Structure 1
């Protein structure tokens, strides 16, 4: 039971950081007057990687919330069939792995776009965006930090999921199920 509660705590932390990431990126905008009456507004729609980050962080938060609902509605330990329990544990382990890698990849892609916005790219004649829209860039930076923290928590979830899965197998032989104890 203590193992389940530690996984619940880590999932809740991951959900909090994923929601913070998605909400900070989605709500971030800043408007500047460039020339007299010409206004330019910076939003997350300007960079495709930020839009993808919002979608993926939202989907990962929803996935972790659904996993929490499954734990509280129908705990896996109460299932009668060991085969069903093993298949569900494999399925959850693979989904946890996919969620970690996709979230980390989306964060890294958004970080690359943010670095180009911060430093500019002289070869392509892209100017530094963060010189004009500093508040926007600071908020995106905080959101990316929260996204990486969420990725760390999701990696912990994946480790706990792997432990939960591989405790079904015997330590003496490779991927052989433990024999039932009377």
Structure 2
């Protein structure tokens, strides 16, 4: 792998880890307490199940990207382009795990957007109040976390492109098409 490509891959992984940790911390430590009709109510990410799941998915995705970053930086011999079977298997595993991380993170982020829209608009049929009318700061922080969550998904998709490049460069056109040497 060329040094510029390697360096970009590492920087994108570091950015993905940073963004995912930022999102998890922003949501995990976000809370607001208000007095509503003589009752003290506290809004946290645990009040909405999709936010609860999203915090844990972001944490696991950050941990996964950190492990992959360590793997790339310290055990990068399979990036050298050797064509033995174990390197191809490792490249396939890395590519598939990167794809799974992107899709699961994107799906939970989208579910959090959908769930959070209920907090903004409320639902009269179910007598759910508009949470964001009462807990404005909490909702603003959730909105910022949602934006950074999508940014993390974009960065992880770019990282996945590098994984695809590292995988498919291990296949030579002659080997892939079963052409004999000319």
* Same fold? TM cut 0.5: yes
Contact 1:30 1:136 in 2 (8 A): yes
Match of 1:12 among 11, 14, 35: 14
Paired position in structure 1 for 2:45: 44
Tell me how far 1:56 sits from its aligned partner: 0.4
Tell me how far 1:163 sits from its aligned partner: 1.3
Distance of 2:180 and 2:65 partners within structure 1:
32
Contact 2:83 2:170 in 1 (8 A): no
Distance of 1:94 and 1:8 partners within structure 2:
18
Tell me how far 1:120 sits from its aligned partner: 0.9
Distance of 1:179 and 1:56 partners within structure 2:
47
Contact 2:19 2:149 in 1 (8 A): yes
CA shift digits 1:69-101 (9 cap, x unpaired): 111221123586621111100000000000000
Q: How many residues align?
A: 178
Paired position in structure 2 for 1:62: 63
Contact 1:30 1:135 in 2 (8 A): yes
Structure 1 residues 129 and 122: alpha-carbon distance in aligned structure 2, compared to 1, 3 A threshold: same
Distance of 2:145 and 2:96 partners within structure 1:
26
Distance of 2:179 and 2:63 partners within structure 1:
34
CA shift digits 1:114-156 (9 cap, x unpaired): 1010011122221110000000000000011111000000000
Structure 1 residues 95 and 178: alpha-carbon distance in aligned structure 2, compared to 1, 3 A threshold: farther
Paired position in structure 1 for 2:127: 125
Runs of 4+ with >4 A deviation:
78-81, 175-180
Paired position in structure 2 for 1:72: 73
Q: State yes or no: 1:149 paired with 2:164.
A: no
Contact 1:93 1:165 in 2 (8 A): yes
How large is the Cα RMSD of the aligned pairs? 2.1
Q: Which has the higher helix share?
A: 2
Distance of 2:95 and 2:28 partners within structure 1:
30
**Uncovered stretches (5+) of structure 2, i.e. residues with no partner:** none
The two structures have a TM-score, normalised by structure 2, of 0.91
The two structures have a TM-score, normalised by structure 1, of 0.91
